Structure 1
Amino acid sequence: MENFGEMGFMSFDSGVMGRAMEDENRSGSNNMGNASGDDRENPGNRSSKRKNNYRHTPFQTQELETSFKENPHPDEKERRDLGRRLGLEERQVKFWFQNRRTQMKSQVEHYENSILKQENDKLCVENIAMKEAIRNPICGKCGGPAILGELQMEQHQLIIENARLRDELNWLGVPENNFTFRPLLSLASPMPPIMGNSGLGLVVGRKSFGSLNSIDPKLPTGLDFGNQVSSVDVPLDKSLFKDLALAATDELIKLAQLNSPLWFRSLDGCGKTLNLKEYASTISPCIGMKPDHFVTEATQATGTVIINSVALVETLMDAKRWMEMFPCIIGRASTIDVISTGMGGNKNGALQLMHAEFQVLSPLVPVRQVKFIRFCKQHAKGIWVVVDVSVDAIREGSRAHADCRRLPSGCVIQDMPNGHSKVIWVEHTEYNANVVHQLYRPLLSSGLGFGAQKWVASLQRQCEYLAAITSSTIHSGDHTVLNPAARRSIGELAQRMTRNFCTGVCATVHKWEVVQAGNADNIKLMMRESIGNLGEPPGTVLSAVITVWLPVSCQRLFGFLQNEKTRGHWDVLSQDGSMQRMLHIPKGQDLFNSISLLRTSAPVSANQVSMLILQETCTDVSGSLVVHAAVNTEAMNVVMAGGDSSCVDLLPSGFAIVPDCFPISGGPIDCDGGSGDGSSGSLLTLGFQILVNSSPATKLTTESIDTVNSLIARTLQGIKAGLQCN
């Protein structure tokens, strides 16, 4: 759209608009007089009323304009108050607002139609040129007439491209010969030169959104998504979501450039942090300005995953599969509305409204609840873009900010020859840091809490697990081969155990009642009733969670907790003895990512039920996880034979470990253990889920609370003693 850069965007001059509205108001006032019954009966009365009409004063016009920007649809009380303040009748205020909305809407529609007509004219010219080129083919090498056989492939490509462009217009809701719908107002100028540095070689232009290109940062973005819905009286419909989706996609593509000056490389060399100054001067935010009390968290990371682009896109566009792919990051996710299912039988152009709860496994970090749209676009052959952006500002206005909002975030996925995919992930979030405990603020600002590096690492680990669990070459720890059905059944049980542990720490999915918000030892206790939950024992479940700082590295702490030989230091289920590993299933190249089945070496009395310990361990650059649960031996035998894993009742417990990200000089001053010894420290979250009573209606007793508090204290003391960090 070459003419877009010359035309720019429509600019409404306030002075011209004010004078125009005064003319409209005089017309409206006359219409009010004509509408009265008295005037119809007495023409002289109508003439006298015309004489009483007057121009609005500059002050009245300015106040009316200000009120219109804040609320284009005032109710009767607001009109009455405004009229009393300005010396106008409520009826005069009402018709002034009606006239203003009508005038604004007609001007916007006129401008939009002119843009669409230009796009139609351009497509017609291109179509004529293509037909002429087909009728009179010219050889590109010698300049002479070409044999038609040489152009068969090119002609075929033009036909495909023409069909794709027609699909683009249909997706935008614009019929080819009837331009009465909303265009994309926010994408109208050429792509900045930064696109030339793409590590993926992304093509922008005709291959991108039907020649609707990028945002010019010097121009307004049409709809101000951060200040009410819009200054234009436009009803909230799906076209707003489509406009926002395309603008967010355009911004994500800019942010996904590997050699872009928009990013600083992180100190650990594994990710990148957004250059906020460069971002502010290059990109106009598509959902409004950042609230004053919010901070920015923006990171980029790149990785290779064992999954092709189409399969990964299908997973990301399915809320349940997306949640299962990232069990430690996503507490709950759902699709509210499917706006578009895509084009051509795939997810190209799919757009849906979603809700998700993002979590860090600690009671000190509140769960982030975000409502957003997710848009999927095939950018080129073998390259897909999946982008998220918050919609709270559109649906509820700028005054409805939550504690977090999601700016254009997501991934660019490129197919690789070996069936793998290269993923460039971008996470861009603004949130209220005041609701986060000071222990976790360095972690979140580093990007290891919710950043792109954590998403990529989790995606790589989960894809490795899915590949390993279906492989025919995986052996158990005792060198016996497990059949694929048995591995899948054990894997499903371990995944369910880990998800339940995460939901118990962050209080998602189930409805938890807080029993103890935090005593002197900062232990948080919650309870819920388990009735009819498949895979859980019925009764009253108590969850106990605490986060502490330890002056040891994450690697050392994880190695200590996952080792069955040192388990006797802290695990009451081991009966103060060592554990024996019965089964070991690796989940990827890193042997510490595994599923194990343990049994105690201590003798079991005749009246005790034979129990085993199922344990899953996960570790990557962003942190580690050790989750375990006691399981019935007979039920596990069914699972190990490939049976249904839902027959196993379990309540998981475990540990979440993340680096403290404090300066190398030491840990937090107000934590137990002092300020550290100058080495890197860890944040350890302990989580226990315990069945305190088999009857769900039973009240929680003080003895049960004291017992759980003692269990937490004993476990912590055993860990510190075993690590010699008292």
Structure 2
Amino acid sequence: MENITGRENDMDAIAELAQSAMHEFVVLAEAGGPLWMPVPGGSFDVLNKMAYAQTFGARSSANVILGFMTEATRADDMVMMDAKQIVDYIMDSECYTSFCPGLLTSANTTKIYKWPTSAGYNGAMHLVTVETVFPSPLVPSRKCTFVRCCRDMQNGTVIIVDVSLDNGDGTVKCHKMPSGVLVRSLNSDASQVTVIEHVQVNDTGLHELYRPSLSGLMFGARRWVSSIVRQSARMRDLFVVSKSASNGNGRKTLMKIADGLLAGYASGIAAVPGGGWTILRGAGTEDDIRISYRRNNDDSNTAIVSVCASFHLPVPHRVTFDLLKNNLLRPKWDVLVNGNSVREEVAVCKGVGGGIDDVVSILHLKDPPTGENRDNIMILQNSSYDVSGAFMVYCPVNIQLMNEIMSPSDTAESNKVSLYPTGFYLLPVEDTALGLGEGGATLVTVGFQIMLKLARGTGLYPRSASTAVGLMTENIATIKKTLTSSHPIFYRRQPPNNFI
């Protein structure tokens, strides 16, 4: 691929690059074997690099530069949203970030090459910079700059294609080969979406714990598709509820806060320096817990502290998620619950399938001796399961604030709510004998955020950091003991989710 770095204003070269990328993307999006190889369980496809090199020749990514690796995956699914809305979310950088909470920490349009004169984005061409994260302290973030083009095709199909201007010569750590999204309209309320994510990336800094994971699983197409499907289904559910419920605006506010919890959790775990985070100590393993912090914008004498670690759990991905979600087990490991029982009070909105695997919910604690609600403590929880990864992120919410948000007048604004997430992100460890997520083990990231006072100089008090490490060490040991012991007994005998 021709190197046009430093020639961002050479419209002829950029237009030629974009045209070539669109052609390649369409071929890859529509092709079957031998260009693509399905993974066990059929959740996404991995590019056959030899077939790709034979098809696209010198323009292909066959010749990867030293120190870089190639990841290329494809995934598709039905999305409960019309094609125009999907395109609007992806082409608008600000909306794009909210469409993929916990995946994107930033997305910025830095230059507009072409803006269509007609309605919509047909013909638009932008220069975009994004930073993607995987919620583990052991996985570096990826920052990439590329040209994003949009074009309407036949029969209600729209393609959005991304391609980097540079030629992957090692001056940047992430180079995007022709990638993007194909959106095919099915009807006024649904679309078929195909995503291809194809990059050359310098993976220096990736911990050995995550290297055995299936290539492309952490940043690949399946994760993008699952986010789009989840957010679209939840927005649809909110729209239906809002038409019949007096507290529809409150539910929308809670979903926005829940998305903020997931985004804040991922940002704190990744501790991207550009986000204001400073790593204080630790690599992020179970034996070397990582602590990072950023100054509180509302109070310069305090800091938001993120404590996190990733570890291997010899329990399948699907089972791990079900056990964490099971409210009968929660009092055994959750410090926030502190031995009380837990009950789901309200499902704010449901996503994929409308079931318990994908839901924003409000939980209430109950005192076992009396059976009475502890009215001063409620929990806002955002959880979702996909075979490529799952999460459960939550935080306590003051009952007065919750009532204010859910009141019909809905005077509360979500951007004025300061909440500190606790939670988990799960990644399946591949088991070729079974479908993805059904066998093998799980890589678990656990983390929590708290607000602490800063020392008079810079940084945290040493005692505060030591206490945080001690709490996390104890918490990880309790979680591992509870889940591994419950796996062969409790999970087989009980439904995956029980509420008292």
- On whether the aligned pair clears a TM of 0.5, the verdict is yes
- 1:455 is aligned, of 214, 224, 238, to 224
Match in the other structure for 2:381: 615
CA–CA separation in structure 1 for the residues paired with 2:160 and 2:303: 42
The answer for the alignment partner of 1:643 in structure 2 is: 411
1:256 aligned counterpart, secondary structure: helix
Deviation (angstroms), 1:695: 8.5
Q: Determine the C-alpha separation between the residues in 2 that align with 1:490 and 1:531.
A: 22
Could you tell which deviates more after superposition, 645-654 or 540-549? 645-654
Q: Is 1:225 equivalent to 2:26 in the alignment?
A: no
Pairwise CA distance, 1:575: 2.1
How far, CA to CA, are the matches of 1:624 and 1:684 in structure 2? Answer: 10
Instruction: Select between 564-573 and 250-259 the one with higher mean Cα deviation.
Output: 564-573
What is the identity, as a one-letter code, of the residue corresponding to 2:363?
L
DSSP 3-state at the match of 1:561? helix
Decide whether the 8 Å contact of 2:137 with 2:269 is kept in 1. yes
Distance 1:298 1:285, change over 3 A: farther
Match of 2:391 among 603, 614, 625: 625
CA–CA distance in structure 1, aligned partners of residues 64 and 72 of structure 2:
13
The equivalent residue for 2:50 is 277
1:579/1:235 Cα in 2 relative to 1: closer, same or farther (>3 Å)? closer
2:180 to 400, 410, 417: 410
Q: Give a deviation string over 1:224-257, Cα, whole Å, max 9, x none.
A: 524x759xxx895233222211111111011111
Contact 1:474 1:585 (8 Å CA) reproduced: no
- Whether the 8 Å contact between 2:82 and 2:187 is mirrored in structure 1 is no
Q: Which of residues 36, 39, 49 in structure 2 aligns to 1:266?
A: 39
Deviation at 1:656, TM superposition (A): 0.2
Deviation at 1:723, TM superposition (A): 1.8
Quick one: which amino acid aligns to residue 414 of structure 1?
Answer: R
State the SS of the aligned residue for 1:650. coil
Tell me how far apart the structure 2 counterparts of residues 254 and 235 of structure 1 sit (CA, whole Å): 26
1:457, distance to aligned residue in structure 2 (A):
1.8
2:111 to 334, 337, 349: 337
Kindly name which structure, 1 or 2, has the bigger radius of gyration based on alpha carbons. 1
Identify the residue that residue 463 of structure 2 maps to in structure 1: 703
Q: Is the 1:631–1:648 Cα contact (8 Å) retained in structure 2? A: no
Whether 2:455 is the aligned partner of 1:691: answer: no
- Distance in 2 (alpha carbons) for counterparts of 1:421 and 1:285: 34
CA distance in 1, matches of 2:378, 2:8: 60
- Contact between 1:539 and 1:696, CA under 8 Å: does it hold in 2? no
Structure 2 counterpart of 1:543, from 282, 289, 306: 306
The superposition leaves residues 93-131 of structure 1 with CA deviations (integer Å, 9 ceiling, x where unpaired) of xxxxxxxxxxxxxxxxxxxxxxxxxxxxxxxxxxxxxxx
> Relative to total residues, which structure has the larger strand share, 1 or 2?
2
Q: What is the one-letter code of the residue matched to 1:244?
A: L
Identity across the alignment (%): 29
Contact 1:300 1:427 in 2 (8 A): yes
Pick aligned residue for 1:436 from 192, 199, 206: 206
The separation in 1 between residues aligned to 2:467 and 2:76, in whole angstroms, is 46
- Give how far 1:311 is off: 1.4
Which residue of structure 2 aligns with residue 714 of structure 1?
A: 474
2:197 is aligned, of 405, 427, 435, to 427
Counterpart CA distance in 2 for 1:603 and 1:697 is 45
The match for 1:601 is: 366
SS across alignment from 2:356: coil
Task: Give the match's secondary structure for 1:283.
Answer: helix
Change (3 A) 1:620 1:724: closer
Task: Give 2:64's aligned amino acid.
Answer: K
- What amino acid does structure 1 have at the position aligned with 2:220? G
Do the aligned partners of 2:242 and 2:248 also contact (CA within 8 Å) in 1?
no
Partner residue of 1:517? 282
Secondary structure class of the residue paired with 2:213? helix
For the residue of structure 1 that corresponds to 2:336, the secondary structure is: helix
Verify the 8 A CA contact 2:102 2:264 in the aligned structure 1.
Answer: no
> What's 1:65 paired with?
none
Q: Could you tell me whether the CA contact under 8 Å between 1:575 and 1:602 is conserved in 2?
A: no
Q: Which amino acid aligns with 1:484?
A: G
Equivalent residue for 1:532, pick from 293, 298, 307: 298
Check if 1:505 corresponds to 2:269: yes
Aligned amino acid, residue 592 of structure 1: D
Judge which range, 272-281 or 434-443, deviates more: 434-443
2:254/2:348 contact within 8 Å kept: no
**SS where residue 339 of structure 2 aligns?**
coil
Which deviates more, 414-423 or 383-392? Answer: 414-423
Q: 1:678-701: CA deviations, max 9, x gaps?
A: 951000001111112288977411
Q: How many residues were matched structurally?
A: 471
- After TM superposition, the structure 1 = structure 2 runs for residues 108-507 of structure 1, keeping only pairs within 5 Å, are 224-226=1-3, 237-284=10-57, 286=59, 289-393=63-167, 399-445=169-215, 447-472=216-241, 483-507=247-271
Task: Give the match for residue 577 of structure 1.
Answer: 340
Deviates more, 1:366-375 or 1:277-286: 277-286
Change (3 A) 1:333 1:483: same
C-alpha contact (below 8 Å) 2:164/2:175 kept by paired residues: yes
Structure 1 distance, partners of 2:77, 2:368, is 48
- 1 CA distance for matches of 2:480 and 2:233? 33
- The runs of 5 or more residues in structure 1 that have no matched partner are 1-223, 476-480, 666-677
Which residue pairs with 1:80 in the alignment?
none
> In the alignment, residue 338 of structure 1 is paired with which amino acid?
I
Q: 3-state SS of the aligned residue for 1:572?
A: coil
Q: Distance in 1 between matches of 2:19 and 2:76?
A: 23
Report the Cα offset of residue 261 of structure 1. Answer: 2.9
Residues 618-646 of structure 1 show CA distances to partners (whole Å, capped at 9, x for unaligned) of 11121111101122221111111133233
Shift of 1:361: 1.0
Alignment of 1:555 onto 2:318: yes
Partner of residue 427 from structure 2, selected from 631, 636, 658: 658
Q: What amino acid maps onto 2:241 in structure 1?
A: S
Contact 1:617 1:627 in 2 (8 A): yes
Q: Distance in 2 between matches of 1:461 and 1:392?
A: 33
SS of the residue 1:659 aligns to: strand
Q: Deviation of residue 270 (structure 1)?
A: 2.3
Q: Take 1:433 and 1:466, find their aligned partners in 2: how far apart are those partners?
A: 35
**What CA deviation, in whole Å up to 9, does each residue of 1:481-530 have, x standing for no partner?**
55321211211111111111111111236211111033881211111111
Q: CA 1:603–1:701 in 2, change beyond 3 Å: closer, same or farther?
A: farther
Output one character per residue of 1:644-681: Cα deviation in whole Å (capped at 9) or x when no partner: 2334321111100110226669xxxxxxxxxxxx9510
CA contact (8 A) 2:454 2:461 kept: no
- Secondary structure at the counterpart of residue 405 of structure 2: helix
Letter in 2 for 1:302: D
Amino acid at match of 1:720: K
Q: 1:402 to 1:648 in 2, by over 3 A?
A: same
3-state DSSP of counterpart to 2:187: coil
SS in 1 for 2:223: helix
8 Å CA contact 1:470, 1:487 repeated in 2: no
How far does residue 603 in structure 1 lie from its aligned partner after superposition?
Answer: 9.2
Calculate the TM-score normalised by the size of structure 2. 0.87
TM-superposed deviation, 1:400: 4.5
Q: CA RMSD in A?
A: 2.9
Change (3 A) 1:538 1:482: farther
8 Å contact kept, 1:414–1:422: yes
Q: Secondary structure at the match of 2:471?
A: helix
Aligned counterparts of 1:465 and 1:697: Cα–Cα separation in 2: 45
